[in-house]
A = this chain, B = another copy of it.
Amino acid sequence: MNKIAVGVLGASGYAGRELCALVARHPAFDLAFAAAHSRAGERVRIAGRDLTLTAADNAPLDRADLVFSALPHGASAQWVAASRAAGAKVIDLSADLRPGNHTASPAAAEPAYSNVPYGLTELMRGKLAGADVVANPGCYPTAILIGLAPLLLRGLVVPGATIHVSAASGVTGAGASPKTDLMFAEVVEDFRAYAVGNAHRHMNEMRVVIQELGGDNDLLFTPHLLPVARGILATITVPVTETVANPLCLWRDLYNGEPFVEISDTMPSLRDVVYRNVVRVSAMYAVNVRQPTMIVIAAIDNLMKGAAGQAVQNANVLFGLDETTGLPA
């Protein structure tokens, strides 16, 4: 069988590098090009093969069957359009085409992109199979929405109530560009909240999907920066209408047979998930509160299930491959 020719745009960022490595090891993919504006011409070694980074402008889009765009938000949509015009299917890892973000760039505002399926694979698989373009979810939304979905779909969340999410991410979530705030000497032994008060750019994406999943709920989301390289842990508190005897069954039922969702009796931690394309979830009820409340904990590797891994998972769906092909479980 001919391999599927794959291009990566934005190959020098953390998600882009992870994509290149996954593509290079994928048995059905062949890495056609890796484009990185700032490092064009540089020779890199990925998964045992030498490769020259190209500029996006020079990327042979027409040779690719599939393009992953890991370009920055606002800059990605136009390259999705260019890749489509050249005949490739596209997985867009930026926020440009995600629910609630379609006006991020002029290209993203075009009608063609008003209904791009959202690649939260486990929940949206039906809409992905025949698609040409997929909006790959953000890292925080992946952890939080996979964690929340069983409660939302079963109508167990108190209507109108606020869902509280406190989450923390490793520094690769903040990008690979050198910034003072992300220097080792600033981050080590530190911990801080950011985008406090619902200011994070993933808010719209989560709000829209919560609604699609049947929730009439506000979201209060506080992200934090962790002194670790990779991983996201989301602590989600949900006011519920009733309590059930074995709450983990709600997750076990919905995600039955899913290769990339792990339901755990013990609380998941980053060590459980780093370098793996999984969401690991646990949940329990709080004691000593008048309003019945469930605490859901979800952990992912922000670069794997939160970015490059899920992108490959979606690409596997688009091309009719086994969903686990080329992905570390």
Contact = CB atoms under 8 A, between A and B. Distances in A.
3 smallest CB-CB distances across A and B, nearest first, come from: A166-B166, A192-B269, A184-B187
B180 A176 contact: yes
A138 to B, nearest CB: 17
Interface string A185-215: 1111111111011110001000100000000
Contact of A176 (B183, B220, B267, B295): B183
B183 A295 contact: no
Interface residues of A, number: 67
Given A222-B237, A229-B189, A180 B183 contact: no
A101 to B, nearest CB: 15
A290 to B, nearest CB: 6
B229 A224 contact: no
A312 to B, nearest CB: 18
A228 interface: yes
Contacts of A35: none
Contacts of A15: none
A44 interface: no
B203 A166 contact: no
A164 interface: yes
Q: Which of A178, A180, A184, A227 has the most CB of B within 10 A?
A: A184
23 contacts: A48-B329, A160-B290, A166-B166, A168-B191, A182-B184, A183-B183, A186-B271, A188-B188, A188-B227, A189-B229, A190-B231, A190-B271, A191-B269, A192-B233, A192-B269, A193-B235, A194-B267, A198-B287, A220-B237, A220-B286, A220-B289, A220-B293, A224-B235
A14 interface: yes
Contacts of A164: 164, 166, 220, 237
A218 B290 contact: yes
Nearest to A288: B198
Interface string A218-246: 11101010111111010101010000000
A180 B178 contact: yes
B197 A183 contact: no
B185 A224 contact: no
Given A164-B237, A182-B184, A284-B196, A189 B270 contact: yes
A143 to B, nearest CB: 12
Given A189-B274, A192-B270, A270-B192, A184 B229 contact: yes
A289 B189 contact: no
Given A183-B178, A203-B288, A166 B274 contact: no
A114 interface: no
A191 B193 CA distance: 15
Given A188-B228, A224-B168, A291 B162 contact: yes
